Amino acid sequence: MSYESVGKLVDLWMGDAGFREQIKKDPQAAARKAGVQLSDEELTALRGVDWSLSDEQLQARVSKVC
């Protein structure tokens, strides 16, 4: 996944409450719907995110990475 793809997912997650709900329920489908192709390794990483954290906690983690 390119930095552009990561940026797209982060932007959607930060700015779109509907996308946040979708990615929490099914990360693979949400990424595919956003037009982002994921390798098996990237999909595993996306699935490894603790989506039960609050939006604020997730945003703090994203901010550290980005």
pLDDT digits (tens, 9 = 90+) for 34-55: 998 888 888 888 888 888 888 7
The pLDDT of residue 65 is: 61
Given a cut of 70, whether residue 64 has pLDDT beyond it is: no
12 closest CA partner among 30, 37, 39, 38: 30
Percent of the chain at pLDDT > 90 equals 17
Place of tokens 């693979």: 28
The pLDDT of residue 54 is: 84
What is the C-alpha separation between 61 and 46, in angstroms, rounded? 13
The pLDDT of residue 29 is: 93
Joined tokens for residue 58: 């997730």
